Amino acid sequence: MRWLRFAVFILIVTVLQVSLLGIVAVTQLNIRPNLLLILLVFFAIYCNTTDAIITSFAIGFAADISIASVMGSHTISFGLLGTALAYLHRVIAIRKMPYQSLAIFVIGSLAGALAHLLALLKGQAAISNIYTVILGTALYSAIVGPVLFLPAAWWMRIKTHRFSRH
């Protein structure tokens, strides 16, 4: 793993997540793709297990910083679910785009629900349409996510073998 590239990449994606994704958001429901969630699934699929666990917690920390809610809720939820996906990937290959979309949707739904539950336990007030936002964000991320895997692999210099004959 190229950790300096990873740190720069996460910094750029976090800034994009906070600043520019309002352009493509569904404004009535505040639904926008979660680039950090997409990267969580990308690194859990394409890195070895140890690197995937480290990147999951780091991406969760970046999500906590970008959302500016209760600190630690996304770090814990992204870390746990990214670790589970990395171990699951050792058993089940998640290399095709529909499976990657499904993984992004499931992990996004579970991570959003777990982060919301942890935030409620710390005393944050509940939002009225939180599950619509969680499922909408997971679905939006699942639609655009696998398309962003190729540029992420290029930046991180990870071989995806997507177009090989094997």
Listed by start position, the domains of the chain span: 28-156
pLDDT of residue 81: 97
pLDDT over 90 at 20, yes or no: no
pLDDT greater at residue 159 or residue 143 = 143
With tokens 């939002």, the residue in question is 127
- Strand partners for 26: 31
pLDDT over 70 at 27, yes or no: no
Using one digit for the tens of pLDDT, what is the confidence trace for 69-123? 678 899 999 999 999 999 999 899 888 999 999 999 999 999 999 999 998 888 8
pLDDT over 70 at 164, yes or no: no
pTM: 0.90
Cβ–Cβ < 8 Å for 14, 122: no
pLDDT over 50 at 166, yes or no: no
d(CA 67, CA 47): 26
Using one digit for the tens of pLDDT, what is the confidence trace for 41-53? 999 999 999 999 9
d(CA 135, CA 138): 5
Q: What is the mean pLDDT of the chain?
A: 88
